[in-house]
């Protein structure tokens, strides 16, 4: 990310950062770009850069990040359980074949087979 792009990305937050902090953000941006390359990883780059700025502004701590990660993992487990059950219901009650039921629920066929006790 160029310096101009970085300042545009920072937007109003730039005025709350010192010149030294902006340099730290620029350095972090280079590291983050290397860690998460490619267009499909833009969300990860944005999240990491946002965390950098929030840390420098005192708005986020490592403990805050840990709590958010724990919560996101719990939500993922719950969403996965719901999707698996939807596939089971689509197959058992809705009449979908296993492949279609799994695809519709966003899970793989083997996960559905396991939930059905077939693996």
Question: Mind listing the pLDDT tens digit for each residue in 49-75?
Answer: 999 999 999 999 999 999 999 999 999
pLDDT at residue 117, as a whole number: 97
> Average pLDDT, stretch 100-104?
98
Task: Name the band, by pLDDT with cuts 50, 70 and 90, for residue 21.
Answer: very high
Task: Name the band, by pLDDT with cuts 50, 70 and 90, for residue 115.
Answer: very high
DSSP assignments along the chain, one per residue: --HHHHHHHHGGGGGGS-HHHHHHHHHHHHHHHHHS-SGGGHHHHHHHHHHHHHHHTTS--HHHHHHHHHHHHHHHHHHHHHHHHHHHHHHHTT---HHHHHHHHT--HHHHHHHTT--
Averaged pLDDT score across all residues of the chain: 96
pLDDT at residue 4, as a whole number: 87
**How far is it, in rounded angstroms, from Cα 112 to Cα 11?**
46
For the entire predicted model, the pTM comes to 0.81
């Amino acid at each position: 990310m160029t310096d101009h792009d970085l300042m545009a990305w920072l937007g109003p937050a730039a005025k709350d950062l010192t010149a030294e902090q902006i340099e730290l953000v620029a350095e972090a941006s280079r590291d983050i770009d290397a860690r998460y390359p490619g267009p499909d990883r833009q969300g990860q780059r944005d999240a990491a850069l946002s965390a950098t700025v929030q840390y420098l502004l005192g708005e986020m701590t490592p403990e805050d990040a840990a709590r958010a990660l724990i919560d996101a993992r719990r939500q993922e487990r719950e969403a996965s359980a719901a999707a698996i059950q939807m596939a089971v219901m689509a197959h058992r009650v809705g009449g979908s074949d296993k492949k279609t039921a799994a695809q519709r629920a966003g899970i793989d066929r083997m996960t559905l087979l396991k939930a059905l006790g077939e693996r």
